[in-house]
Every structure is written in structure tokens, then in C-alpha cells.
Structure 1
Amino acid sequence: MKSYAHRIERALAQAHEAGLDGLLVTPGPDLVYFTGYQPTAITERLTVLVLVAGRDPHLVVPVLERPDAEAADGVAAVTLADWKDGDDPYAVLAGLVAPRGRYALSDSAWAMHLLALQLAQPSVRCTSMTSTLPMLRAVKEEDEVERLAAAGAAADAAYEKIVGVRFAGRTETGVGTELARLLREFGHSQVDFTVVGSGPNGANPHHEMGDRVIRDGDMVVLDFGGLKDGYGSDTTRTVHVGPPTAGEQEVFDVVRAAQQAALEAVRPGVACQEIDRVARQLITDAGYGQFFIHRVGHGIGLTTHEPPYLVRGEEHTLVPGMCFSIEPGIYLPGQFGVRIEDIVTVTETGGRRLNNTDHGLRIVA
């Protein structure tokens, strides 16, 4: 309970600095973060945590869902305000927010709830949580980092198993299905994605695995992750079916060097965009800049994509406890792609990898 109360206190301080009166937190990762409560189903019934400086936190919840809410770890730190079918839940909510107040609203909020609140309390103004409080969940507590490390280790174990299967002659879907099974075997409760991009399909960073049969001589991009004990994994390794050509090895070596250089640039006080710049400059200097077509990284926690984003223009500085991917890539249309991705956490002195499988070009059968 102490941790949840501390998170609420810290969030209200950030809101004050941003010129906000508070936060309106709807079902999704933000609500889990502040209360541990995740409704079994996100429905049309209003559920919202109201955080206002100087007032007790209130969770507006349908009365039929109150028992589930009361069982959540952090709900003891808030006051429940329930409502019954036939009541006006927006009148309840309107009574908890300040007239003419300005609030950060969860990005996952339903538009119907926001519009109904504006009818009940027209002077209230809402803004996107991510746009106004982008670092809300970015700095992880020690327990969160260790959960992310455990998720990363489970993904690593799945990788070590998948490279032992035969690739040549199997479809991308066949390999991806096996990879998803392995993630669950090693403790993932949810598999969010398994990208298997073979040969020319690897030049599409978000290729959806299909029926292409993997062949001898293919470069294969494996990008996979999900949730373990509520926290995300996300890693990418690129393997090759049989020995690579000199050109393929050259591209791989450039990506590997860029990924290592970006990791070595991680330290407290460095701007997020600097990590992107370091990797991008190395790839550009090698002559492949136009083929690196995405940001170098994204935050991870209760979801697999969240702030901070390591991209040009992001001037937030790195803080110990931030966790994010570092995943440079080179994508040659019609030929192949290469990407290497680790989750990294910022320490007091630099960066710590949470994925620890070999970074070399693994040869598979």
C-alpha cells in the first residue's frame, strides 16, 4: 500500500509542475499502476480514479464491481465511490472534480466517458496523460526493474530454445507459433507479438509472419515479447540459415556496433534523443542511414511500448530506473533486414542490459 500511495503522491507533484489540478485514471495500465486494480472487463460502465491535490483519492466504480475493486492491493489507500445501474455516474464524478479544473486523462479513456463528464461539468478541461505527464511511469521502482529483468530472462530462454529448431523448410508462422509456445513455457502469461521476418520479409520491421517457407541462405529477424508477472519483455535477434555472405555479415556487424555504441552512451543526465543519435550516426557513417527507418527505442513496463521514447526531438533526460529498448536496424528492401534489441535500464553509472543472449549472428539449420 505504501508504494501505491507514494506513486499517487509523486504523480500529483508532477501534475502540479505541469499546471494541472489532478489526474483522471481509467482502466488500463495507469489504473493498475496506482491501485493494482484491473477490471475483469472494460465495459461501458464508468470506472475512474480521481486524484486531486489536497483531497483523498477516490475510485468511482460500479457497485457490482466493488468486491473485485476492494480485493486489489492498492485500493485500501483510496476511497470507493460506487454507483448503481440507473444512477448517473457522471454526476458522482462531477462532484469529485474541481469546477474549471484541468486534468490529465488516461489515453485509454473512452470518448463517451469524457463527453459525458463535459456535459455534467462543462468547465472541466482534460488533456492527454501522455502528452502532459509523459514520465509518469517512466522511472521504475526496484521491484519493477527486477520484474522486467525476469521477463527478459524468460524471453532469453525462449530464444535459446528456438534457435535449436530447424528453420529451413518451415513457414514463418510455424516458427512463430513455436516461439509463442516457448514464451508461455518460460512464464509469460501473455504473448503480445512474435515477428518472424525471413529473407526479404525481414526488411519490413513489423512484418506479420506468414506462409513464406524459410530457405537456406535466409536472414531471419526474430522479434518477440509479452507480459510476465505483469511486466513486459521485448527482444530481437537476427539469425541466418547457413553461412552468411560477406555483404550480409557486414550489415549485421554495423547494426551490432550501433547497438553497442548506443548502450555505452546510456547514463544519467543524457537526453533520450542522444541515444538515437549515437546509433543513427554510426549507421549513417557506414552508408546505411536511409535504411534505418524507425526510432532507436521505446520505454517498457506494464505495457511493451510506453514513454520514454528514444527518438530525435525527445529532450527528457535519462534517470536511474528508466527502462527502454535499444533496437537499431537496417532494412534493405527486397533483400533482408537486421535488428538487434535489448531492454536496458539506467543505473547510477550507465546502462544495464536486461537481455543477455549472444549478440553475434547465430547460424541456424
Structure 2
Amino acid sequence: MFQKRREKLVSRMQQQQIDLAVLVPGSNMYYFTGLQLKQSERLTLAVITANNQLFFLVPQVELTKVDANNGGAILSYSDEEGPEQAIQQLKNELGALHTLGVEFDTMHVKEQKAIEKLTYDNLCDIGDSIRELRMKKDDHEITFMRQAVQIVEESLEATLPTIQAGVSEMEVAAQLEYEMRRRGSEGTPFGTIVASGYRGALPHGRASTKKIEIGELIVIDFGAIYKGYVADMTRTIALGDVSPTLKTIYNIVKQANETAIAAIKPGMTAHDIDDIARKIICGAGYGDYFTHRLGHGIGLSAHEEPYLMQRNHLVLKSGMAFTVEPGIYVQDVGGVRIEDNLIVTENGYENLMNYTKELIIL
């Protein structure tokens, strides 16, 4: 699998006359090599040549993880030695290069300074090619995403009984994260959002010490990771009866979510889908309160291409995966967001989520 992915990347490199691609720890390194590490103070690089050779430059403390992956020459260093000698070995292996491709959006300055010790003429961004390759999910990836979705749906259902008056948002978030871990989640891709009452007007209202009260809506936005792949779910829950205004806002967001999803198919653009949801919210008089794009891509990252937003005329194709999450946020009143995870299919779409979008009243 990883070899086939590298072959596609190498084909792009050859077309663009890029001699070498240097990847840093993160989702791209994992996607092309199977090595799953986080960026740290210890220099770690994966290097892919235009003739599809693979090199790893890693600290000794991570050697066992690299050994578990197929292929690739390994250059390592101890903490005491530092990476200088390993970089020189890599330089000797590679020789003189013309163009070197790096990830401009994820590479740290320290990592760039290290690769500057190689011999090359030009440095270019290989990010666009990588993002385009990663946008189309294969069956292997979709299987993992389905499992991640199952984890978040089951975890929310298990957490609902703990949402009561006097319970803090942090307590709800902690229970939710515990339930996801119990079901196999490797962690959370972002800080869990539990925003109740007036705090629901904060699109990124991370869980706080605020106590939940009767008559409030609670926006719960959270994610799971399974085999590296992310599920990202939002539901808005009511504790007791809520005001007619909040019910109206909820129904508008629900209509925007469902109508936009129903329109998803190959040939539509990211702008088109955003526009469908936005017109419903604007038509109801809440356009100024929908303050973000409709959705973002999901996969090995919580946010990746494609982005469903105004003026993004990217044409949707089979295999693309993204969220649809319209929202309305009214200061000092509250907020509503409903989010599903979608895959574009040959004839339309698959909604990976089955969880109800009817307003749940606890």
C-alpha cells in the first residue's frame, strides 16, 4: 500500500522535475511510509527520491518503530552524537541534486536548516501534489474512517446520560473522551468542544468549567482516531425545554445540513455545496450568524483538503471525504451546529454517520 502511494508521488515528482521529497513527521510521512511519529526536538526525516528510493533519518530512540516498516535505508543517531553525521551520510548517498521538494506548511525552520546541508539548487513546495493525492480516499482508508465514526457515535450515546444540570462542560468532555478510548480511539484530533448556553455562540468553545443548566442547548463537537484516521462529529443537545427561538435556529441548521448533503455528487463544486446551505441560513435571516465555511476534508488529519467554502471551485470527485457542518451562533443567546462525515461516490455520496439529527431533549 505505502509503496503504491510512493509510486504515485514519484510520478508527480518526475513530471515536475523534483529530485527529492523530504517529509517530516506527521500525516504525510505516515501516508507514504507507514511511519507514524510526531514532530519533536529530535530531527526525523523521510526522504523519497525521484527513482523511488526511500531513506529514513531518525534518532535511535525511534529505531524500533522504523524497523517495523517495510523498505527504506535507515540512518540513525544518538542523542549525544546529534544528527550531523547522519545528515552527512545522507548527503553522500544522494549526491548533488537540482530541485528538492519539502512541505512548506508543516516543516519547521529547524528541519529546513538541517536539509540545507544537502547539496541542491532549488527548494520548492511539494504540498499541492501531496494534498491532491491524499484527497481521494481508497477502500482501505474508508474502512478505517467508518470504524472511527462508529466510535464517536457509540461514545456520544454512552455519554448522554451523564449530561445533567450542574455537571460541568469539562466533565462531559472527559466522559466522552473516556468512552472513545474504551472503544479503541487512539486519542482526539482536536480539543473536545462542549459549549452550553451562551457559550454555544463560540464556534470553537472548548469545554470549560461552566455548569450546564436546564433550558440550554449544548454544542458537542468531538473526534476519534482509528488506525490514524479521523471522525469528526457535532451534535447539539437540549437539556430540558428550550426557547422557541433556539428551536427555530436548530431546525434551520438541520435543514441546511440535510439539503446540502442531498446535493453532493461528482461534478458539483465545493462552492456549490457551501452555497446551498448558506442560502437556507441567509434566507431565514441568520446569514450574519453563520461565520465559517460549511466543511473541511477529513482523513489522516482533522482538517485537510477539500474545503467546502465560498469561492472554492474545486470539482468534487469520487473518493473525496469531508464534513458538512452548518452552524448559527448568536451572541448571548446560544448556538447550533450539526456535523456529518461524507464520502463522494460515483453516483452521489455516502454519509458515514447514522446518528439522529432530530433535536435530542434530555
Q: Give the structure-2-normalised TM-score.
A: 0.91
1:104 maps to 2:102: yes
The aligned counterpart of 2:55 is: 58
- 1:209-266 deviations in whole A, cap 9, x for unaligned? 2121211110111111131232111100001111232221111111011111111121
2:16, 2:272 → 1: CA distance? 24
- 1:319-357 deviations in whole A, cap 9, x for unaligned? 222111110000001100000001111111111111211
Mark the CA change 1:22 to 1:255 in structure 2 (over 3 Å): closer, same or farther. Answer: farther
1:97, 1:301 → 2: CA distance? 35
Shift, 1:360, TM fit: 0.7
- Out of 341, 344, 356, which is 1:346 matched to? 344
- Out of 73, 77, 86, which is 1:79 matched to? 73
- Out of 323, 329, 332, which is 1:331 matched to? 329
1:90 maps to 2:87: yes
2:273, 2:323 → 1: CA distance? 11
- Out of 60, 66, 69, which is 2:66 matched to? 69
- SS of the residue corresponding to residue 134 of structure 1 reads helix
Mark the CA change 1:271 to 1:156 in structure 2 (over 3 Å): closer, same or farther. Answer: same
1:183 maps to 2:180: yes
The aligned counterpart of 1:30 is: 28
Mark the CA change 1:280 to 1:22 in structure 2 (over 3 Å): closer, same or farther. Answer: farther
- 1:306-330 deviations in whole A, cap 9, x for unaligned? 2221122323222222111110000
The alignment covers a number of residue pairs equal to: 357
Q: Give the structure-1-normalised TM-score.
A: 0.90
1:170 maps to 2:167: yes
How do 1:236-275 and structure 2 match up within 5 A?
236-275=234-273
The aligned counterpart of 2:220 is: 222
Choose between structure 1 and 2 for higher RCO, CA contacts under 8 A separated by at least 6 residues: 1
One-letter amino acid of the structure 2 residue matched with residue 346 of structure 1: V
Shift, 1:9, TM fit: 1.3
1:308 maps to 2:306: yes
The aligned counterpart of 2:140 is: 143
2:359, 2:324 → 1: CA distance? 17
1:49 maps to 2:43: no
Shift, 1:44, TM fit: 3.7
> Matched residues, percent identical?
32
Mark the CA change 1:133 to 1:69 in structure 2 (over 3 Å): closer, same or farther. Answer: closer
- 1:154-178 deviations in whole A, cap 9, x for unaligned? 1001111222334222111122211
Shift, 1:47, TM fit: 2.5
2:287, 2:265 → 1: CA distance? 25
Q: Give me the CA root mean square deviation.
A: 2.2
Q: Unpaired runs of 5+ in structure 1?
A: none
The aligned counterpart of 1:193 is: 191
8 A contact 1:193–1:226 mirrored in 2: no
- 1:7-48 deviations in whole A, cap 9, x for unaligned? 011122344556644421111111111121124x64444322
8 A contact 1:94–1:117 mirrored in 2: no
Shift, 1:59, TM fit: 2.5
1:55, 1:363 → 2: CA distance? 56
Mark the CA change 1:287 to 1:32 in structure 2 (over 3 Å): closer, same or farther. Answer: same
The aligned counterpart of 1:282 is: 280
Shift, 1:183, TM fit: 1.4
Shift, 1:62, TM fit: 4.1
One-letter amino acid of the structure 2 residue matched with residue 254 of structure 1: I
Mark the CA change 1:14 to 1:269 in structure 2 (over 3 Å): closer, same or farther. Answer: farther
- 1:179-221 deviations in whole A, cap 9, x for unaligned? 1111112221202432111111000011122121211110111
2:16, 2:261 → 1: CA distance? 31
One-letter amino acid of the structure 2 residue matched with residue 228 of structure 1: Y
Higher deviation after alignment, 205-214 or 16-25: 16-25
